[in-house]
């Protein structure tokens, strides 16, 4: 719950400029902020703060009547959605299906299904610009400790912390 309390918006004290809808990447960034995509698709640390270096890499754990599920990696890494194209992304957001695979109902795809094709394509265009992050999250596997995000999610043990180059 504290994750959502920390994410509460601050009061608007000045006019907010209209987003540039002609710049798909900038508009997609705006839409991901308004849709709180980062909030659920970015893992948190032990103090429940987003791990900004892992933005959009998935692994944020949700627990509800459906059990425990971790959010998907949305980066263009092979462990994320590198195989998606804009058409597939729009289809997933409209139908809740990634080809023959149903996405988990913890993802509020029905809330996004009513967005225009242009809006969904802008979100996808923006997601293609985020840094690819190798972070396997697989809810078909039992949750295990992940050395990348420090959390527990399916496929967690299969992740490896990237080595740092010597300076």
CB of 70 within 8 A of CB of 153? Answer: yes
- Distance of alpha carbon 53 from alpha carbon 1, whole angstroms: 22
Domains of the chain: 21-158 (1.10.760)
CB of 96 within 8 A of CB of 105? Answer: yes
Q: How many residues does the chain have?
A: 167
The pLDDT tens digits of the residues spanning 81-129 come to: 999 999 999 999 999 999 999 999 899 999 999 999 999 999 999 999 9
- pLDDT given at position 75: 98
Phi, psi values for residue 98, rounded to 5°: -100, 90
Record the pTM: 0.86
- pLDDT given at position 167: 43
What number of other Cβ atoms are within 10 A of residue 31's Cβ?
19
Residue 72: partners with Cβ closer than 8 Å, 6 or more residues away: 41, 58, 80, 81, 103, 107, 137
- Distance of alpha carbon 51 from alpha carbon 86, whole angstroms: 27
Q: Which residue has the tokens 């009061």?
A: 11
Question: How does residue 151 score in pLDDT terms, banded at 50, 70 and 90?
Answer: very high
């Amino acid at each position: 719950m504290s994750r959502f309390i920390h994410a509460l918006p601050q009061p608007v004290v000045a006019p907010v400029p209209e987003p540039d809808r002609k710049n798909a990447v900038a508009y997609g960034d705006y839409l991901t902020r308004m849709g709180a995509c980062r909030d659920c698709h970015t893992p948190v640390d032990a103090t429940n703060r987003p791990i900004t270096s892992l933005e959009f890499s998935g692994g944020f754990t949700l627990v509800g009547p459906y059990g425990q599920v971790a959010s998907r990696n949305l980066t263009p890494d092979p462990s994320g959605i590198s195989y998606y194209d804009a058409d597939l992304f729009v289809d997933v957001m409209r139908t809740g299906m990634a080809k023959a695979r149903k996405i988990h109902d913890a993802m509020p795809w029905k809330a996004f299904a009513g967005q225009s094709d242009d809006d969904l394509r802008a979100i996808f265009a923006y997601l293609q610009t985020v840094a690819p992050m190798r972070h396997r999250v697989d809810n078909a596997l039992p949750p295990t400790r992940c050395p990348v995000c420090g959390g527990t999610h399916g496929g967690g043990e299969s992740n490896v912390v990237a080595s740092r180059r010597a300076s």
